[in-house]
Structures are given as C-alpha cells and as structure tokens.
Structure 1
Amino acid sequence: MLALLVALQTQDFGRILDDPKLDGSIAAVVVADRDGKILFERNSRTHVMPASNMKLLSNSFALYQLGPDRKGETRFWKEPTRTVVESTGDPMLTHDQLVEARNRLRLDRRLPVYLHEEYAPGWGENWEYGDLPNKYAAPVCAFNVDRGSFEIWSQGGKPQFRPEAYGTRVVPAALPKGTTTRYDPFTRTVYATNAAFTKDQRVDTLSLPHPDEAAASLLGSRMVPTDEVPRRAPDLVIAGPKIIDVVGACLPPSDNQLAEQLLMLGARTEGPLGLDAYATARTRLTNFLTRIVGIDPADVKVDDGSGLSRHNYVTARAIVKLLAWSDHQPTALQWRAALAHAGKGTLASRLKGIEFTGKTGSLDLVAALSGYVQTRNGETRIVSIIFNQFGCSPAEARGIADRIVAAASD
C-alpha cells in the first residue's frame, strides 16, 4: 500500500513539474523520507544557485561547531589614553548597547579606540556592486553595530538619520524617474530629489561601509586596529545572544548579515581566519559538509554564507542530505524551531494549513524552498526544490514549489 501511495505521489510531482511555466528552466527537486531515502528526484545532481537556501549550510555549520548555547562577547577596557575593545563576534550588538557601555564607563570620546576583532572580511568578494548600498549586503566584521545598517527617514520635510548619521550626508540631485534617493556607501553620500522627504516616513535602510569604525565612533575619536589587549580583566563585558537565538533570528526573515556572521563564527572555532577570512571560512564549511555531513564534494561549492553571491552552487540532493543529517542531531528540535514555519517569516503568505518548516530562497531567476513537511499520517518528508532561470514570474515559480510541498504532505 505504501509503495502504491509513493508511486501515485511520484506521478503528482512529475505532473506539477511539467507545468509549461517552467519550460526552459532548471528544476532541481528531491523528495525524501526523514532518513534521506529519496522517494522522488528530478535533476537531483544538477548544480543550481541556492539563493538563501545557502543559509541552511552556514547556520547548521555554526550550530554544530559552536553548540546552541555559546555566546559572543565584546570586552571593554578604559585606559588613561585610550579605550580598548576586543570582539569575539556578537552579530546582534546594537547602538543602544554601545551608548550604554560608553556611559557606564564614562569614556572620553576624544580618545582613540584600539580594537581587536577576530575577523573583518568586509564585503563578500563576489557580491554585486548594485547590492552593496543595501542593508542586506552590509560588510562583515566581528565588531558591529545594528547588523551593519542604519536608516534614513523623512521627518518634517527634512532628512533624518537613525540612530546616527555615521558621517553620511544628503546631497540634492536629479535622479531617474521613479527614483527619489540613491546611496553611495563608498563616499557616504545619499543623493536625493525634492520628492524624497515630502511626508514623514522611513525612506530606506542603508549599509554601513565600515561597521567596526561606526561602532568605534560611538566610543571614541577614531579606530586603531591592534593585536594586543590589556592583561587585566575587562572593565565591562557585553555578552551576545546564544547561537541558537542568532540562528532563529537569521533563518525565518532570511537575514544575510547574520548568516555571514554565523559562517565566520563557525569557522573561527578551528583557529584564526587569517587575512583572507572568506577563503578560510569557505574551506572549513566545505570540510564540514563533506566530512561530517557526508555530502559528495561534487555537490557543493561555497562562496558565502547567505546565498547573496551568484558563485555558490549546490544540488538538491545535497540540501536533503544536510536536512536529514540535521534532523538526527542532538539539536534537532532546536534546529527545526529556528526555521521558518508555514504562515510565518518569509513563509507568511504561503503554505497555510500545511505543517512545513524550512527555508525559502529568492534571487534574480532563483526560487528555492527546502525543509521538512509532515504528512497526514504523521510521517516526516524532506523536500528540496530549487528553480533557476525560469521564464515565469517569481510568484508563479513559488506557487509551483508550494504545490510540490502540498503533494508531499498527502
């Protein structure tokens, strides 16, 4: 009977994927049981861009390497001629926390801030130029503030930066029709038309070109990199959230900055990242995937931790392998709880009425959906659906992916 049901479902999956809307596209799909045994596959070994499904790789890596309860720390020393800060990496450190630290220590903002941070690779080397002004493409560094971002608002007909300007200025400019602002992070300039600030609202959320310098500016006059910190105990320590809480803040809303931070934090457990932190982190994540999880080395190429890079590739069977492995770890319940749930996060308007937890992925001509679906008889199915180079609308591609998940739940 079970074999008959699987055969019927296989036919359903095939019919769904034969939708003319996917003509000419790459459709990589695997449906498996909880142990990873494949029940249906199409192009399961084809290399595809995963978009934000890449976060499944970086987040599971960090959770395995660090454990769910590890916390990053930011340590402060008040010295007569300087302030010293050491950051092991707190991806969720905020402006308000730094201001509170400054006030508690009564720091002299005329003094320099000597900073030791465990990694600061900056932008992903293959991120596209057009992404860089945006919050989702903020540079990566251990000492950070507000996930490397800040906001520009219209208030009373004038521009207002929140929580700080961090040296950014607004310059009047004539821009293409339909565009009211354009931000250049390299010169810290927002070019704006008169129409940009006509009503009170948030105009945009922007990336900080050097988040560590911005964070240091809240404490002192300038940032000075250093490899040495005082030997005495810190005057103040700010502990970040648990790693599992960072994972939970990353996956449902698909936060790129947190994903890149988790990649670095996971890689750092094996030793210093060196001058080329991304190269080291890529190697260590790849080793985890191939040696610990058991993914075929031919099935994955790591370029970053968030999926923003168009130079990542995976196979659908690799994603299923990872999800099956993760569901048999001591952290399995925490892992599933940290994923996006049907009707919430990036799945807020999708898969309602279906017991699904997983991860979406969206990029130009990429639509991905991978995770766990409960069948009507209480079994767990694992799915990975990745469409590349489709000619239909993204909404139509997502709709086809949702139909596959619905079929897997029957």
Structure 2
Amino acid sequence: MRALFICISIMVFAFTEHEKVQASVNHEVLSNQLNTFMANDPNLKGAIAGISIRSALNGREIYQHNGGIRLRPASNMKLLTAAAALDVLGENHTFFSALYSDGPLKKKTLHGNLYLKGGGDPTLLKKDFDQMAEEIHKQGIKRINGDLIGDDTHFDDVRLSLDLPWSDETTYYGAQISALTVSPTKDYDAGTVVVTVYPGKKQGDQVRYTITPKTNYVKIINHAKTAAEQEKKNLTIERVHAKNIIKLEGQLPVNAKEKKEWVAVWNPTRYALTLFKQSLAEKGIKVTGKIKTGVVPDTATVLTNHPSMPLSQVLIPFMKLSNNTHAEVLVKEMGKVVMGEGSWEKGLEVLEDTLAKQGLDTGNMVMRDGSGVSHVDLVPASQISQLLFSVQKESWFPAFLHSLPVAGIKEKMVGGSLRYRMKGLHVMAKTGSLSTVSSLSGYVKTKSGETLIFSILLNNLLDGDKGKRIEDQIVRVLASQ
C-alpha cells in the first residue's frame, strides 16, 4: 500500500509540474485523428458529442467538437461541485456532530433530554455513535430520564433534489439528504443500509440475508427462494416507497455468490437516532423517553462532539466512487456557510458565483444539483475544460487532483470508477453516466510528456457502455501524441 501511495503521489506531482514541459502536440494531426474517429464510429450516429481539449500549460483550446453546446454532464457535474467546495469551504473544512443535554446529572441519571445534533457529516458510521456513547458513559451517565432528540436543522428539510427521478428514490445514489445521517460502510453511502443475500443450504429454502449495520430500522420481507444450481440468478432487493420495508423477490441458485444491494432508507434522521439509541443500549445507557426530532435549546450543555475527517479526505470517496449524496451535502453546506441557509437554492447560488470567479460562463449553464443526477443540468464541454485549467493555480489543486479516479489502478479508493479502464495510460479523470449519457473529463499525460486537459460529454446514446469505449479511445488518441 505504501508503494501504491508513492506511485500515486508521483503521478499527482507529474500532473502539477507540467509548466517546465513545452507544448509539443501537433494540433493538425490530433484534429485529423479525432475527426476521423468521430465520423466513423457507428455508436455516435444520432447522438451528440461535445469535446474540448486544452493545453494544461497555457489553457489554449487545441481541439473542439460541439465544445460550446450545452449538454447533460452526468457526474462530471461533481468536478464543478468539488472545485467550488474546496474554494468556499477549504480543504481543511470539517463537519460536526455533537451531543447536548438540557438537564442535570444526578446519581448517574440525566434528568432531561439528550440531543444529537447533526452538522451534515456524510461519513458518520455506527462505530462513531459507539464512541460517542462510550464518552458520555465515562462521564457517569447510565440512564436518561427524557427523550432522545435529533436536531437536523443545520440543513433545510427538503430531502430530495428537484429533478431526482422517482425510480431513484430507493437507491443508494438517490438517498435522502439530511444534516443528521449515517453510513453503513467506509464507502460512506450516507442514508443507506447494505442488504447481503446468500442462497439457502438446499433448493427450495428461503434465501438468507444480513443487514449492515445491524438494525431493526428496516424490515425485510423475504419471498426469495434458493434455486437449483444450474438455474439463473434472478433476485431483486427493493424498498417499498415511503416505507422502510425491503422486499426480496426471485431466486438465487445453490452455491451462487452473495448479492449485495445498498438501499436508501426512508427518513435518514430517524435512522441515525435509532442507531444511536442502539449504541447507547450497548453501553448500558437506558433512554426512558421517545425518539423525536427537534432543536437543541440555547441553554443546553455540550457533552461531546465528533468532527469529521477534513474535506480533502471526504473528497476521496466522493469523487473516486462518484457519491451523489456527498455532492448534495456539499451544495447545502456551501449555502449554510456563505448564506446562512443549508438549502439547494442558496448552495447552488454560491456554486454559480464561485465558478464565475474561476472564469466560467455560468450564464451559459443550467445547474439544478451538485451531483449531475438531474437530466436538466446542462454544461458545455468547453466550460468543464476551462475549469480544469483554471483550478491548477489554486493552492488546493493537489487535493482536487488527488480525488480524481486514476485509470487502471485496481485499489478502489485510488482507481475508483476508472480502476478497470485505460490500464497503462497516465489518466486522472472523473467519470459520469446516466441513461443515454456518458462523460469523462480530466487530465492525460501524452507520449511526448505534455499534459492535456479533456472533457468528453456524450448525450443521446443508445448504449452508455459503448459511450465509455468511445471515451477511452479518444483518450488513447490523446495519450499517443
């Protein structure tokens, strides 16, 4: 792992030290190669491709194909969100979570309510709740004669972005946004549980399952059966709309591999409170009252707090794994920090103002969220490549660059969504995909040693996977220069 870290550090250094390399790409040759490829690929027939290639040395656009046309960026929108968050919040910015009480402690009993206040941290885990429970246990609290109250007012109460499709509402990438939420694993898919399904011991048995973290907040209805070994896997794991009921349907053959599904919960605030109450119970702390939501009173006393990892580290799972929830949290956090309101409306206003300072023509763009899940988002490829050029001057650029997936590196938190693509090339870039949309934007080191910036937005595709092949081929042409 240390060798891998050194390798990636060298790659980041190489991309940031390009000033000493003279531009050497033959623009005419490059244009001819790309134009020929674009004209002959049958998968682009009926589709729209927006491409912008710039020199990382001077920002000059050396090739464009529909570069000024507004297109759906998919998760390439996260490049804009990450850059703005680093600029507005700073790479050392942390999110907070804290415990408060509004009553006295007498003989190991807290006579009052216990408040869990969320500050938007998307990286909270069950073990963090265990630690917080342990800390108040050490303070002598063994019983709480009051309610457990969750305060999620750091953000507004709008849970889903404006254009999120109803079909995405139960998926991990469509999880509800709350200032008080919890993740099941170190992938940090906040507001979800992981359901893992295994075949039974013999044909006809119900399938077996586990839930991570272990919780009774969701209920499993198991209609799935174990099929014969030669039969096909046909298993669905879906949550019922507006309920925390997850249905298992279909079949899993004997000896088949486990199937995992990350499922978004309904009401992540209450989910977090339920898990925290479980942590309290595991530490021997009894809560006599109910689980509620409310606001921490001004007179309450802080018992303990839990800061998150810094933003520079949050960006790793955010960008490497293309985490939609993180993107929307960052938009709301920017709104909260700059304008005092943790909402999409204020956050997107801050995002637009910040991008304009980076030289982007925000009047030529439509931004409806921070993740790119919206099919209404519209950004020209030339604006994304302009951003990737302009951010190179910022002190936080190494953190931004380090967060990008690295092509061909299988380690998940390094290669991310590019870990199985373009092996052997020096590429650091952000992927993106929606139904009919594929995108890829970032940096590539050419054969001659020059760094090129590229943005490729492919819209109206019949097959998104073929879009990835198109992107990879274009980047290979760039790398060969």
Q: CA deviation at 1:179?
A: 4.6
Q: CA deviation at 1:174?
A: 8.8
Structure 2 equivalent of residue 52 of structure 1: 75
Change (3 A) 1:360 1:240: same
Q: Partners of 1:226 and 1:373 in 2: how far apart? A: 49
- Partner of 2:368, secondary structure, is coil
Change (3 A) 1:196 1:123: farther
Structure 2 equivalent of residue 193 of structure 1: 249
Q: CA deviation at 1:231?
A: 5.4
Change (3 A) 1:196 1:180: farther
Which amino acid in the other structure matches residue 194 of structure 2? E
Q: Is the 8 A contact 2:74 2:438 kept in 1?
A: yes
Q: Is the 8 A contact 1:86 1:229 kept in 2?
A: no
Change (3 A) 1:406 1:114: closer
Give a deviation string over 1:157-214, Cα, whole Å, max 9, x none.
4443221345322235599x94533311412112233636977834421102211111
Q: Is the 8 A contact 2:76 2:432 kept in 1?
A: yes
1:177-256 equivalences under 5 Å are 178-193=234-249, 195=251, 201-220=258-277, 221-226=290-295, 228-230=297-299, 232=301, 234-256=302-324
When the two chains are superposed, the root-mean-square deviation of aligned CA atoms in Å is 2.5
1:358-369 equivalences under 5 Å are 358-369=429-440
Give a deviation string over 1:211-234, Cα, whole Å, max 9, x none.
1111112334312221634454x2
Of residues 329, 337, 362 in structure 1, which corresponds to 2:394? Answer: 329
Structure 2 equivalent of residue 6 of structure 1: 27
Structure 2 equivalent of residue 20 of structure 1: 42
Of residues 104, 108, 113 in structure 1, which corresponds to 2:149? Answer: 113
Q: Which moved more, 1:71-80 or 1:351-360?
A: 71-80
Change (3 A) 1:144 1:12: same
Of residues 102, 114, 118 in structure 2, which corresponds to 1:83? Answer: 114
Query: TM-score if structure 1 supplies the norm length?
Result: 0.91
Q: Partners of 1:4 and 1:339 in 2: how far apart? A: 24
Of residues 344, 350, 368 in structure 2, which corresponds to 1:278? Answer: 344
Q: Partners of 2:260 and 2:76 in 1: how far apart? A: 29
Q: CA deviation at 1:63?
A: 0.7
Structure 2 equivalent of residue 124 of structure 1: 161
Give a deviation string over 1:110-135, Cα, whole Å, max 9, x none.
62214153114311121001111111
Which amino acid in the other structure matches residue 168 of structure 1? V
Structure 2 equivalent of residue 295 of structure 1: 360
Structure 2 unmatched ranges of 5 or more: 1-21, 104-110, 184-189, 201-206, 226-232, 278-289, 409-414
Which amino acid in the other structure matches residue 361 of structure 1? G
Structure 2 equivalent of residue 315 of structure 1: 380
Of residues 121, 133, 143 in structure 2, which corresponds to 1:102? Answer: 133
Structure 2 equivalent of residue 92 of structure 1: 123
Q: Partners of 1:361 and 1:389 in 2: how far apart? A: 14
Give a deviation string over 1:354-401, Cα, whole Å, max 9, x none.
11111010110111000011122322211000000023x323221111
Q: Partners of 1:331 and 1:251 in 2: how far apart? A: 15
- Partner of 1:350, secondary structure, is coil
Of residues 167, 171, 191 in structure 1, which corresponds to 2:217? Answer: 167
Q: Partners of 2:310 and 2:456 in 1: how far apart? A: 30
Question: Rg larger in 1 or in 2?
Answer: 2
Structure 2 equivalent of residue 263 of structure 1: 331
Which amino acid in the other structure matches residue 214 of structure 1? Y
Q: CA deviation at 1:267?
A: 2.6
Residue 398 (str. 1) matches residue 421 (str. 2): no
Q: Partners of 2:213 and 2:191 in 1: how far apart? A: 12
Q: Partners of 1:358 and 1:4 in 2: how far apart? A: 20
- Partner of 1:349, secondary structure, is coil
- Partner of 2:441, secondary structure, is strand
1:339-350 equivalences under 5 Å are 339-343=404-408, 344-350=415-421
Q: CA deviation at 1:350?
A: 1.2
Which amino acid in the other structure matches residue 292 of structure 2? M
Q: Is the 8 A contact 1:52 1:254 kept in 2?
A: yes
Which amino acid in the other structure matches residue 28 of structure 2? A
Q: Partners of 1:224 and 1:3 in 2: how far apart? A: 61
Q: CA deviation at 1:53?
A: 0.3
Q: Partners of 1:264 and 1:114 in 2: how far apart? A: 19
Q: Is the 8 A contact 2:126 2:276 kept in 1?
A: no
Residue 33 (str. 1) matches residue 55 (str. 2): yes
Q: Is the 8 A contact 2:215 2:275 kept in 1?
A: no
Which amino acid in the other structure matches residue 42 of structure 1? H
Which amino acid in the other structure matches residue 8 of structure 1? V
- Partner of 2:458, secondary structure, is strand
Q: Is the 8 A contact 2:73 2:377 kept in 1?
A: yes
Q: Partners of 1:160 and 1:249 in 2: how far apart? A: 24
Structure 1 equivalent of residue 192 of structure 2: 149
Which amino acid in the other structure matches residue 145 of structure 1? V
Q: Is the 8 A contact 1:89 1:117 kept in 2?
A: no
